[in-house]
Structure 1
Amino acid sequence: MALTSKISEYDDRWPDMFDAEKARLEGVFGTKAVEIHHVGSTAVPGLAAKPEIDLLVVVSDHGDEAEIGQAMASFGYVRGTNLSEGHHFYRRDVEGIRTHKVHVCLTGHWQISRMLLFRNMLRQDADLRRGYQKLKLELESTNQHGIGEYLARKAPFIDTVMGPPPKAQ
């Protein structure tokens, strides 16, 4: 079973794609957006990645979820299942291919520091970056059950680097 998109070499256009989407999301979240970060593998120069721009929107509160949901839908986003309490998720596919993922976390949510720290570690440590890339390519080539399998098999690597995530968060 295919992943949401195929892993490809790093693309120098990804930071500009993030900037363009960040500007649109600032309009959606307004003053509730405390920060918007480029996270995930497309935020790491030199790292092969699924060409899906990951954005982390840190919000003071989730605001009017119906209104935000409508604004996100107008940009082609679909609301996914909450990934944890205070961590909302949106995805956008174009012609069946995932192009963007948006994580919306309340200020202070444990995932914020985890996503930013892992991104920064990958940016700074070439050996870690190479090891992570090798794993991702192996997981893609052996994947039989789609993105859930890929994420589950990638998690132990991340947990080894970062420590396990908090329980029941």
Structure 2
Amino acid sequence: MALTSKIATYSSNWPVMFAAERDKIAFIFGNQLIAIHHVGSTAVPELAAKPEIDLLVEVSTHASDTDVNALMCACGYVRGTDLSEGHHFYRKDVNGIRTHKVHVCETGHKDIARMLAFRNILRQDAKIRALYQALKFKLELENTVGIKEYLALKEPFIEAILNKDK
């Protein structure tokens, strides 16, 4: 089974795509909006990635799900299953290909620090970045089940990197 998109070499257009989408959806979160961060592999220069722009929306509190869901839908997003308690997830596909993912978490949620920390490590450490890229290509090549398998098999590497100095 295919992943949601194929891994591609880094594109300098990804930060531009992030900024455009950030500007497009920021109004949805109103006064609750604290920040919108570019996370995931497309936020790391020189790292190959599935060309799916990950936006991490940090809010002071979750607003009405009904209102946010309707506005996100109007911007082309579908609400996915929450990734953890308080970690809301939206996805956007264009012509059957995933293009954007939006993670919405309240300030202080553990996933905010985790996503930002892993992104920053990859940005700063070329050796870890190269190891992670090799793993991603290997997992894409060997994948038989789809995105859930791919994500689950990346998780031990991510955890090891995040817990390295603990």
TM-score, normalisation: structure 1: 0.95
Structure 1 residue 153 and structure 2 residue 150: aligned?
A: no
SS in 2 for 1:145: coil
Cα distance, 1:163 vs structure 2: 2.8
SS in 2 for 1:5: coil
SS in 2 for 1:101: strand
Deviation beyond 3 Å, 4+ runs, structure 1:
none
- RMSD (CA atoms): 1.0
1:84-119 deviation digits (Å, cap 9, x = unpaired)? 111100000001000000000011000001100100
SS in 2 for 1:91: strand
Match of 1:27 in 2: 27
* Separation in 1, partners of 2:163, 2:149: 20
1:8-157 matched pairs, under 5 angstroms: 8-157=8-157
Give the letter for the 1:78 counterpart: V
* Separation in 2, partners of 1:102, 1:61: 16
**What runs of 5+ residues in structure 2 fail to find an aligned partner?**
none
* Separation in 1, partners of 2:59, 2:26: 11
* Separation in 2, partners of 1:31, 1:24: 16
Match of 1:6 in 2: 6
Give the letter for the 1:37 counterpart: H
> Percent sequence identity over matched residues?
62
Give the letter for the 1:73 counterpart: C
TM-score, normalisation: structure 2: 0.97
* Separation in 1, partners of 2:163, 2:91: 27
